Amino acid sequence: QVQLVQSGPEVRKPGASVTVSCKSSGYTFTDYSVYWLRQAPGQRLEWMGWINTDNGDTKYSQTLQGRVTIIRDTFANTAYMQLTSLTSEDTAIYYCARGGISMIGTTAHGWVDPWGQGTLVTVSS
């Protein structure tokens, strides 16, 4: 079955960086994009960016531009998200998710499914 498995929890000090991995299985990795999202305590879900796993093109949230980098390894069917210059406000559960497109009539509609299990990143001094 389609599955995205993320790396384990991380604890970092303010100013440090963190990298979270996301290994996909059960489908052709390069046929779908990979999204990264996060959920901070008490906050709504936040989209961070996505990567076209076929050609490596990326799109990032402007609020995180310059701090977030998403890459992929097509041989390992794995995507990676690096976030730098961490502050306590980056404490959150980080999710990767498969992004796809379905045609309804002549219109392409995006969807995001399934999601990885989530990775808790804690930023604390």
Q: Which is nearer to other proteins, 8 or 125 (CB)?
A: 8
Shortest CB 33 distance to other proteins, Å: 12
The whole-angstrom separation of Cα 73 and Cα 79 is 6
**Residues 6 or more apart in contact with residue 113 via CB below 8 angstroms:** 97, 98, 100
Q: Tell me 58's DSSP state.
A: E
**Coil, helix or strand for 31?**
helix
28-42 as b/e, with b when 16 or more CB fall inside 10 Å? ebeebbbbbbbebee
Is 113 a residue that touches other proteins (CB under 8 A)?
Answer: yes
What is the residue whose two structure tokens read 């949230």? Answer: 61
Q: Give the total of residues touching other proteins (CB under 8 A).
A: 24
Do residues 92 and 38 touch, judged by C-beta distance below 8 A? yes
Is 45 a residue that touches other proteins (CB under 8 A)?
Answer: yes
Shortest CB 62 distance to other proteins, Å: 7
Is 109 a residue that touches other proteins (CB under 8 A)?
Answer: yes
Do residues 90 and 36 touch, judged by C-beta distance below 8 A? no
Shortest CB 113 distance to other proteins, Å: 4
Site string for other proteins, 59-78 (x = CB under 8 A): x-xxx---------------
Region binding other proteins by CB under 8 A among candidate stretches 12-20, 71-79, 83-91, 102-110: 102-110
Which residues bind to other proteins, rule: CB under 8 A?
35, 44-47, 59, 61-63, 95, 97, 102, 104, 107, 109-118
